[in-house]
Each structure stands twice: as C-alpha cells, then as structure tokens.
Chains A and B, each alone.
Chain A
Amino acid sequence: RKEVEQDPGPFNVPEGATVAFNCTYSNSASQSFFWYRQDCRKEPKLLMSVYSSGNEDGRFTAQLNRASQYISLLIRDSKLSDSATYLCVVNYYQAGTALIFGKGTTLSVSS
C-alpha cells in the first residue's frame, strides 16, 4: 500500500524557534515530492517542491533522502503566521493515484 506517514503533532513553539517536520513514504517508485500548507478550513497550497539536492526558500529548507524514503521540512525563525498544518505529498506518476497526501503535521507558533 502506498502511504505517506507524518508525525501529527501538534508542535507548539515560540516565535523565533526552529522546528523540523519529518515524513516517510512507503513506495520507492515515488517520483516527486512536495510540502503543502493548509490553514484551518482552507484549501492546501503549495509551500515548496522537494529536490534530491535539498532546497531552500527563505526560512524554509526541504530535504529528501531517497535511500531512506524520508523527507523533511525545516522552518527557521518561526513567525505567528507559520501556524498551519503542513502536508507531506508524494507523486507516483501513476494513473489513478496522482498525489498521495500525508495527514499533516500541525504547527502552532505563539508569542
């Protein structure tokens, strides 16, 4: 069974903290990887794609370890506005499966 597993949290951190989320996926045939952000009662929105070499977008850094089938997201200098649920998403490029979503990790940043 194709699955994406995430620690559901919640992660409660103060402003300015660094927080890391982890995600594992079961199918080694996975082709592409993403982190989506979902605010309460809103639609998921792409936060960033995850590349094999690792990639950074401002305060956000994503890492991929294909050998361990493991994806991570690091958020530095947390802001109140970072409070949301972060979804780990894997694409198998197979008809009928499209994106496989993790259940999400909830982050709450407090002042």
Chain B
Amino acid sequence: NAGVTQTPKFRILKIGQSMTLQCAQDMNHNYMYWYRQDPGMGLKLIYYSVGAGITDKGEVPNGYNVSRSTTEDFPLRLELAAPSQTSVYFCASSYSLKETQYFGPGTRLLVL
C-alpha cells in the first residue's frame, strides 16, 4: 500500500493564481482531511470528508474548496492564491473519526 500520497511536493504561485492540491489514499478509509501547518504552529483543519460526496468545513476553510467524488481522492482547490496561504499542506485519512489518522508527505506552497 502506498498509504496517503500528495502532489505536488512543492509549488510557487503568484498572487491570484489558482491550483489544486491532489491527495489520494489506498487504504479504503472513509474519512479524509486537509490541514495546513504554518511555521511554529500546530496543524489547523481546513476541510474534512466523511465519505464520497460529503464534505464539511474545518477551522480555517476560507479561500479553499474541496470535493470528494471517490473514496480514494480528496483534492483541495485554491481559487485566488494569497500570501497568507503560504504554508505546508497535509492530507490525512482515517477509517473512522476515532481511529488514527495517517498523513501524506505534504505539499509546500509559496505564494508570492
């Protein structure tokens, strides 16, 4: 099993550009999550999904959108990139809300 995979590993965006961060898992997990981690800070939940077709906002959803068309994939969309979105983005998955979350390797995003 590859676990949780994320692409790209690193990206530089200009202000106002858009992009999609990809996340996939092959563990047949129902729950998937997107977090961002700023330097010296804890992880903050952006969006989560409890299954295909179901998504909901986390603590810091502004400026982002998600979709969950399949169990495996959970892309994160940035429509109008802003410098405040410079961060490391981690995708995670778990079998249930009570179970351990497994993280992908992260995407480092720099918005200039």
Contacts and interface: CB of A to CB of B under 8 A. Distances in A.
Interface of A: 4, 8, 31-32, 34, 41-46, 49, 87, 91, 93, 95-104
Interface residues of B, number: 23
Contacts of B41: 103
Contacts, number: 56
A34 B97 CA distance: 13
A4 B59 CA distance: 15
Contacts of A44: 43, 90, 103
Contacts of A34: 100
Contact of A45 (B45, B50, B59, B103): B103
A95 to B, nearest CB: 7
B49 to A, nearest CB: 11
A95 B101 CA distance: 15
Given A43-B105, A93-B97, A4 B42 contact: yes
A25 B102 CA distance: 22
